[in-house]
Structure 1
Amino acid sequence: MIFVSDTYNSSGNNSGEIADVDPDVPAGPLTLPLDQWHRARGGRMVDFAGYWMPVQFEGIIAEHLWTRENAGFFDVSHMGQLYLSGEDVEAALEAVLPIDLSTLPVGGVRYSLLLNEEGGILDDLMVTRWRTGFYLVVNGATKWDDIGHLREHLPDAVTINHLEDSALFALQGPKAFEALEQLVTGEHPLSALTFMRGGQFKLGGVDAWISRSGYTGEDGFEIAVPAENAAELADLICAQSQVKPIGLGARDSLRLEAGLPLYGHDMTETVDPVSADLLFGVNKRRRNEGCFIGADKVLPLIGAGAPTRRVGLAIEGRMAAREGAKVLSGETEVGTVTSGGFSPSLERPIAMAYVPADLAAPGTPLSIDVRGRKLAASVVPMPFVPHRYHRKGAA
């Protein structure tokens, strides 16, 4: 299933026309297909990744807890949706990403990383095998750079379709399946999808690509639909009693509790996959074979270990530590908080940070400097809140 798109080959030629742009007029935030839909429901809109997006509707804590107990509807249409096809596309993509595509079945979804020559993370992304190519979902703030990187490193025989006329939703929470099952039809029932598997369905009579995936730690689905049908399908989903629209604020607190890193904060182009504790994004065969961008830097770190590690921190008291706060061992600065906030589920502050590898063991006592006040903290395993993915073979 491919919706209307702009098409590029790897040399960077655009098959569509490019509109004239006045360089003196600021671009400003762009709008997504559901912009007016969010505003009509009281969404508090903010500029995020270059788009107007709702940060909250009725309140971050209420929306967070609703998603943990029911089902939250998220608009993630700012994400980049790409379709790669052409001669030897599998081998070409493996030369760019540290992913093993030979073991990825049709409909299979896999997490991977876009790396630079130094092994730094340019983006994290999801790769799905479709019947004649690969569907990639990349971060909204980096999608144009990602397209440029792919154009540069993929051969001319590979075509990149940017699916700009496709909206993307996430329905997350323990009642997401219950809410969505009654709305879809397809060759196979929705129950056939387990974690990181997808398929084509009809949602309200409209073609939709649905995968059982998400970034909250909960069971749930990501749903790609034509942008022209976005509002009617959002209405259809949110008409279910289990579902409420949820903003960016709760999406961030949910992913933090799940111990999931956010690009541009917990991952950057100066951070490698070993330090970031993301080696599951570098598949086993590729660790042995290499031959991907950044392999010369990443593979030695797998054997020797990285000098720093991303860790979870439990913080005493009620004060939260935010991104940029200094992490201390005694009086010595040893790291920096990359994500932090108050956990609505645990009712305490939590954070992620990078610290020296010899301070990364669970139970290690540390402290965090928040505006001159030292908060006691300790290293804890992640996720902070257990994942509840619907894995194959689960009851």
Structure 2
Amino acid sequence: MTAADTSSALRTTPLFALHQKLGARMVPFAGYSMPVQYPQGLMAEHLHTRQAAGLFDVSHMGQLLLRGPDAAAALESLMPVDVIGLGLHKQRYGLLLNDEGGILDDLMFVNRGADLFLIVNGACKEADIAHIQGRIGSRCELVPLPDRALLALQGPQAATALQRLIPGIGALVFMTGNHCDWQGHALYITRSGYTGEDGFEISLPGDAAQAFAEALLAQPEVAPVGLGARNSLRLEAGLCLYGNDIDTTTTPVEAALNWAMQKVRRPGGERAGGFPGAAIVFEQLQEPQRLKRKRVGLIALERIPVREPAVLENMDGQHIGHITSGLLSPTLNQPVALAYVAPDYAAPETQIFAMVRGKPVPMKVTATPFVPTNYYRS
């Protein structure tokens, strides 16, 4: 996911007319005109997703295929992630890195057998395509899918609603996918999302997107949800927003994304290294005491929302970091934030202060997610 783009030349998704019909407030985001909220408002949309099922238009994101017998090894050469060992129709989170170990983009990818299916961030997709083509284009075929739409159905009742349209889809478990058919249209559905809830991401032809979205919205559990609630949901789940919490200046280790780098790709692993920035990333993995900053979760001890880019200070008033994402959690009714702090202040329960309009707001470091996840694993 990416931060907003304020460009005036905006593109639209296949659901633009439906958003207008539903009364959405549209805003510029990643070069597109996107719904930030509908008439029911951000708070209602957020809570509805936590309790039932929310439908999100994420068609601004990039969908790509990599094809060829060397595609998995080629993609693995760009990321500190196990691509070769990924099972059929299994999905994984990945990180494209630059030569300094900085994060060019975070993405999702699926081994579909005949190809690798990638979903990349909307504001990064042109740069990602150029990067991938330039680095591994001689080893595999890269096929952008600009005519595909992407919908996310999220929430504890998402499977109940989707199964009425796609019988048997509830058999999928978290981070798996499969080919499906709806009224003659070829869909690819994964059980995944960016809210911390159970749910699905549905890739489908753009010319079928509105009819399919309307069929989902006809289900009693489903309501439309905009980018505002998508942001508050992902923050409660402790998930990074590209452009805010991670970017080209942050490494996976600084961003506390060590879990995304499988053992086989780490120092001593069977296929260790070989990706851009490997020496820097490996040094940080092996000598974490040399880190200059680390991403942490924070909860405010007063009910004062703390937003990016608020400065963080210690008890002596010294600058120790800054907020990268922050808001009043609709679920917890308490301010939460992601931030980068000096390593000496990264331990859970450490108290620090965020400067909000010149006033120090006490906060404490806490583990994420802020709200427990609800992924369907079995």
Q: TM-score, normalised by structure 1?
A: 0.90
Counterparts in 2 of 1:157-168, with a 5 A limit? Answer: 157-168=139-150
Of residues 258-267 and 148-157 in structure 1, the stretch that sits farther from structure 2 once superposed is: 148-157
Offset from partner CA, 1:6-46 (integer Å, 9 cap, x none)? xxxxxxxxxxxxxxxxxxxx971111110010011000000
Counterpart of 2:30 in structure 1 is 49
Does the 8 Å contact 1:208/1:225 carry over to 2? yes
Q: Secondary structure at the match of 1:96?
A: coil
Residue-pair matches, total: 364
Q: Does 1:320 align with 2:282?
A: no
Counterpart of 2:186 in structure 1 is 207
Does the 8 Å contact 1:123/1:146 carry over to 2? yes
Find the aligned partners of 2:32 and 2:158 in 1 and give their Cα distance: 26
2:292 counterpart (294, 307, 331): 307
Counterpart of 2:348 in structure 1 is 362
Find the aligned partners of 1:27 and 1:139 in 2 and give their Cα distance: 19
Q: Secondary structure at the match of 2:77?
A: helix
How far did 1:205 drift? 4.1
Does the 8 Å contact 1:204/1:236 carry over to 2? no
Counterpart of 1:254 in structure 2 is 233
Does the 8 Å contact 1:341/1:349 carry over to 2? yes
How far did 1:158 drift? 1.2
Counterpart of 2:4 in structure 1 is none
Counterpart of 2:103 in structure 1 is 121
Counterpart of 1:16 in structure 2 is none
Of residues 314-323 and 134-143 in structure 1, the stretch that sits farther from structure 2 once superposed is: 314-323
Q: Secondary structure at the match of 1:338?
A: strand
Q: Secondary structure at the match of 2:134?
A: helix
Q: 1:273 to 1:157 in 2, by over 3 A?
A: closer
Letter paired with 2:321? G
Of residues 93-102 and 248-257 in structure 1, the stretch that sits farther from structure 2 once superposed is: 93-102
2:176 counterpart (175, 189, 197): 197
How far did 1:191 drift? 2.4
Counterpart of 1:99 in structure 2 is 81
Counterpart of 1:353 in structure 2 is 339
Letter paired with 1:238? L
How far did 1:155 drift? 3.9
2:17 counterpart (36, 40, 53): 36
Letter paired with 2:73? A
Q: Secondary structure at the match of 1:182?
A: helix
Find the aligned partners of 2:295 and 2:50 in 1 and give their Cα distance: 25
Letter paired with 1:94? E
Letter paired with 2:279? D
How far did 1:103 drift? 2.3
Q: 1:96 to 1:160 in 2, by over 3 A?
A: same
Find the aligned partners of 1:174 and 1:160 in 2 and give their Cα distance: 35
Does the 8 Å contact 1:183/1:204 carry over to 2? no
Does the 8 Å contact 1:204/1:233 carry over to 2? no
Find the aligned partners of 1:75 and 1:95 in 2 and give their Cα distance: 31
Offset from partner CA, 1:275-328 (integer Å, 9 cap, x none)? 101112222111131111111110111111133111111112222111110011
Find the aligned partners of 1:157 and 1:276 in 2 and give their Cα distance: 30
Does the 8 Å contact 2:76/2:84 carry over to 1? no
Counterpart of 1:297 in structure 2 is 280
Percent identity among equivalent residues? 47
Counterpart of 1:8 in structure 2 is none
Return structure 1 stretches of 4+ with deviation > 2 angstroms. Answer: 203-206
Find the aligned partners of 2:177 and 2:99 in 1 and give their Cα distance: 32
2:314 counterpart (324, 329, 354): 329
Letter paired with 1:153? R
Find the aligned partners of 2:8 and 2:300 in 1 and give their Cα distance: 41
How far did 1:204 drift? 4.2
Offset from partner CA, 1:148-169 (integer Å, 9 cap, x none)? 1101110424111110010000
Does the 8 Å contact 1:83/1:160 carry over to 2? yes
Offset from partner CA, 1:156-192 (integer Å, 9 cap, x none)? 241111100100000000000000011114xxx2122
Offset from partner CA, 1:189-248 (integer Å, 9 cap, x none)? 212210000001123442210000000000000000100011100000110000000000
Q: Secondary structure at the match of 2:44?
A: helix
Does the 8 Å contact 2:300/2:361 carry over to 1? yes
Counterpart of 1:152 in structure 2 is 134
